[in-house]
Amino acid sequence: MIFIYHTNNAISRVENELGELIDFDATVSVSFGLRQIAAKNPDVVLVWCHVDYAKGLNIEVVNKLFHHNKLMLSFNPNNSFFISEQIGYIDESLFVNVNKKVRFPTWQMSSAVGMIHASVLVKLESIPCQNNLDYYLSSIAKLAMPKGLLCYSEPRLLFDQNNSKEVTASMFTLFRFVKQHYKTRWVFLLFLNLLWYENKLPIFPFFLSLFYKRRVASKINLEDIKVASNENVVQQKTIDVIIPTIGREKYLHDVLKDLAKQTVLPQKVIVVEQNPVDKSVSDLDYLIKESWPFEIKHIFTHQAGACNARNLALQEVESEWVFLADDDNRFESTLIETVFVQLTQYGAYAVSVAYPQNREAVLISNVKQAETFGAGNSFVKKELLNGVSFQKGYEFGYGEDNDFGMQIRNQGIDVLYLPEPRILHLKAPMGGFRTKPKLAWEHDEIQPKPSPTVMLFQINHKTKQQNLGYKTILFFKYYQHQSIKNPFTYFINFKKQWKRSIYWAGKLNTTV
């Protein structure tokens, strides 16, 4: 491990783990100096730290935090990141609204303190070095995250954060970053949002940004960097499976057959059968009549709703791991075994595997940080379940699975996406709600837009700027799908619908 201390403008000193000084080129920028040191020492972990935070660097834990080579950790002790919160106007991803109290996935890196393996920096030589270290580090993370570099805000890097100093990019830098890391249309949308919501007219930053060339990740390949985590996440190698079901007897039977063929068998399969019809009885007689190589816990309820069903099942989990499945899945006999191998390899506590439908291609071929969470294709360690549940405010709507994933992330646990193994999602036609649910707002004269459950997720997990940016995009997208063609009338009506959605989302929040 090599420690590089800097003043933003230049490297001050370089030390090894014993505190011995290492020669460096004092004439180059910090970013170029990092790359020089990486090229000379490709097998070590590099730790950068601003001299103002040197005394607060938590040297004793950095080795534990960096548990495999395909990580990039950083922490910004300031109230804001280098790239301002206005990035939310054009970036809806979870990587923008960072929970600084825990390890949280983000591309927003900081020059204050951080660490990366030298071999990764060598692989990223196509990304230009520049004088601004914050920009360079954020650019690395933004481009390399889709390629499998796992990037986090990690507060444990500093045990003393009292010396924080605000360092925020200018409007020129913000527009440049958007132009170099997003499609060009987002530059125009950023300009529109700043004008509309903040009464700002950043003509020169907008105009100058158009002369910058977009940076692409096509030349980045991190696949030959070996990942072998020293986190011991799989110990007992036991797993329970939860499956909510309603009216899909044949499909559920096929899922159970696939589970019975697993090379690593589940300990228990928890089936929650819903039938809202009074005095109805179970249709799953094969649960008892047939022999299964695992325990089946069958719960029958007249209360419909996937959130309630999954919560009932989660209370019955006893094994070290839980597989959140659906009743119209199909998968190979090695599914659980292969997932355990990858959980061990990455030291992961939660993963969502590829979930294509019939004849749907899987476009992402590398492990990366997931932007969503699947309630029918995910594996989670049981110890995380104490603080999470499927919130009832999302019942019969959309977003309960992604909300569940955000609850996990806000505990400091990331969710990884695995391209292999895959679970086939049949999208069986007999699923869903047998009786149309009665929504509280269905008789409103002004129908909420977006759906209140979508708005609920936006309010709970997105920044103010992300919500306003989403509002702008929805405004334009929805116009062509509704009957009001007068743009002024549409604008007035849309504002009423948005306001109504916020109202109902507030009501749903009380049931969460």
Q: Where are the chain's structural domains?
A: 2-169, 239-425, 452-509
| 437 band by pLDDT with thresholds 50, 70 and 90 | confident
Same fold flag, 2-169 and 239-425 = yes
For residues 183 and 179, what is the distance between their CA atoms, to the nearest angstrom? 7
For residues 280 and 118, what is the distance between their CA atoms, to the nearest angstrom? 63
Lowest average pLDDT, out of 77-86, 294-303, 309-318, 433-442, goes to 433-442
Fold that domain 239-425 belongs to in CATH: Spore Coat Polysaccharide Biosynthesis Protein SpsA; Chain A (3.90.550)
Query: Side chain identity at 14, as an amino acid letter?
Result: V
Residue with tokens 């889709």: 146
For residues 94 and 458, what is the distance between their CA atoms, to the nearest angstrom? 10
**Is the pLDDT higher at 383 or at 8?**
383
Residue 36 has a pLDDT of: 96
pLDDT digits (tens, 9 = 90+) for 125-169: 999 999 999 999 999 999 999 999 999 999 999 997 776 667 788
Residue 163 has a pLDDT of: 63
Query: Side chain identity at 254, as an amino acid letter?
Result: D
For residues 444 and 442, what is the distance between their CA atoms, to the nearest angstrom? 6
Query: Side chain identity at 54, as an amino acid letter?
Result: A
Predicted model pTM: 0.94
Contact (Cβ atoms closer than 8 angstroms) between residue 417 and residue 369: yes
pLDDT digits (tens, 9 = 90+) for 227-280: 999 999 999 999 999 999 999 999 999 999 999 999 999 999 999 999 988 888
Q: Report the pLDDT averaged over residues 220-225.
A: 94
Lowest average pLDDT, out of 89-98, 409-418, 437-446, goes to 437-446
Burial (CB < 10 A; 0-12, 13-18, 19+), residue 231, is middle
Residue 433 has a pLDDT of: 47
Instruction: Look at phi and psi of residue 57 and say left if phi exceeds 0, alpha if psi is from -120 to 50, else beta.
Output: beta
Tell me which of 3.30.360, 3.90.550, 3.30.1480, 1.10.1330 is the CATH number of domain 2-169: 3.90.550
For residues 172 and 202, what is the distance between their CA atoms, to the nearest angstrom? 9
Length of the chain in terms of residues written: 512
